[in-house]
Amino acid sequence: MDAARYDAIRARHDVLATALADPEIATDPSKMAVLGREIAAVRATLDAVEAVEALRRERDDLAELAASDDAEIVALADADRPRVEAALAEAEAALRLNLIPQDPADARDAIVEVRAGTGGDEAALFAGDLVRMYERYAARQGWRVEVFDAAEGNAGGFKEIVFAVKGTGVFGAMKYERGVHRVQRVPATESQGRLHTSAATVAVLPEAEAADVTIRPEDLRIDVYRASGAGGQHVNRTESAVRITHLPTNTVVTCQDERSQHQNREKAMRFLRARLYEAEQERLAAERAAERREQVSTGDRSAKIRTYHFPQDRFTDHRLEGDAKNHPLRPVLDGDLAPVLEALRTQEAERRVAEAG
């Protein structure tokens, strides 16, 4: 990286740090969140630059030592050179990836919708398996899961469920879960031992902040009704569940997980903002280059992205190639998703580097 570009990034970091220290900004959680995400990204770039520069200095020092008249020093320098060259190549590759503009939404929290697809009760049970997988993965990452709305299946699992995942860089990881997940296994109720195929769909939305989306009160229809499901007498006595319809787009969201109508309304508004924000991002993406449209299309629920094959204890991600494609099923269902998501992230980054020249 040339000195001018490095100085510009350093200057931007200093501007952001100064802004974060401003007492007025400190009282605005929305602005604090936006600035915090940006300064973290800039700091990561600076760290990558400094790692490259340190290794280049070490390489130059070894070159000087290799020109020494002392044979022992030359031997030590030659022995250390492969390590430094390998580390430098890796650091330079990481810096190139870091300098590619990232999706600003990657640092946001996410709202996840899991719905049972084809397969009846077995599909609902599989949707429940996916939810548990995400809960365990979130726990490993130190993230928090917050349920918005859920409809249980007749035999267990979920017909559909909506929940938020909150933490650092959630959407940047969870966005790779968007699509159709297919399961192949023998249901417990199958007396002939026949393999059954069913599916569930997963949608992942970046959680929007109030400043991201303008929602006029007159554009909303808000209905309240009695919640269904667990909750004892409360669900029979109190109209705490909330349904919000955004009239201009006919977008409908519901929330009944909380006992308070006020809490359900607040959660439903968060879900609505996320839906409207995502719709606007997709509209803008459709107007831009084919590469960007292709990236957004990973959220298309008609695209089968995974197969979970229980008899063979095999998990297959159809977007990956080679050895990265298949994994043992049980560890993944127990929340060990990180290697898969990292492979998907690396594959996408390498493609973007190649396209950038």
Query: Which one is predicted more confidently, 128 or 9?
Result: 128
Domain boundary among 63, 78, 99: 99
Q: Is 10 left (phi over 0), alpha (psi -120 to 50) or beta?
A: alpha
Do residues 144 and 75 share a domain? no
Confirm whether pTM is higher than 0.75.
no
Greater confidence (211 vs 233) lies with 211
Residues 281 and 294 occupy one common structural domain: no
d(C-alpha 347, C-alpha 337), whole Å: 16
pLDDT tens digits, one per residue of 151-206: 999 989 999 999 999 998 899 899 999 999 999 999 876 767 788 999 999 999 98
What residue numbers bound the domain in which 160 lies? Answer: 107-211+290-356
Indicate if 206 and 306 belong to the same structural domain.
yes
Statement to judge: residues 169 and 196 lie in one domain: yes
- Helix (H), strand (E) at residue 290: helix 290-296
Q: Are 128 and 207 part of one and the same domain?
A: yes
In terms of domains, do 26 and 42 share one?
A: yes
The whole-number pLDDT of residue 287 equals: 64
* E strand spans, the chain: 110-116, 144-152, 158-166, 179-185, 196-206, 220-225, 241-246, 251-255, 304-309, 314-317, 326-328
- State the DSSP code for 248: T
Burial code (b: 16+ CB inside 10 Å, e: under 16) for 173-207 equals bbbbbbbbbbbebebeeeeeeeebebbbbbbbbbb
Q: Tell me, what CATH number does 240's domain have? A: 3.30.160.20
Domain total in the chain: 3
**Same-domain status, 188 and 220:** no
User: At 157, which CATH number?
Assistant: 3.30.70.1660
Q: What is the pLDDT of residue 292?
A: 33
Label the pairing between strands 179-185 and 304-309: parallel
Q: Strand 251-255 relative to strand 241-246: parallel, antiparallel, unpaired?
A: antiparallel
Backbone angles phi, psi at 329, to 5 degrees: -70, -45
Specify the CATH number for the domain of residue 27. 1.20.58
Same domain, 315 and 172: yes
Same domain, 116 and 200: yes
The pLDDT mean for the chain works out to: 84
Q: What is the pLDDT of residues 22-44, one digit of tens each?
A: 888 878 776 777 777 778 778 88
Q: Give yes or no: residues 324 and 236 share one domain.
A: no
User: For 220-246, what is each residue's pLDDT tens digit?
Assistant: 999 998 877 554 444 445 678 999 999
The residue out of 61, 79, 99 marking a domain boundary is 99
Query: 145 and 278 share a domain?
Result: no
Q: Of 64, 99, 134, which closes a domain?
A: 99
| Domain shared by 199 and 306, yes or no | yes
A 10 A CB-CB count for 157 gives 23
End-to-end alpha carbon distance in the chain: 16
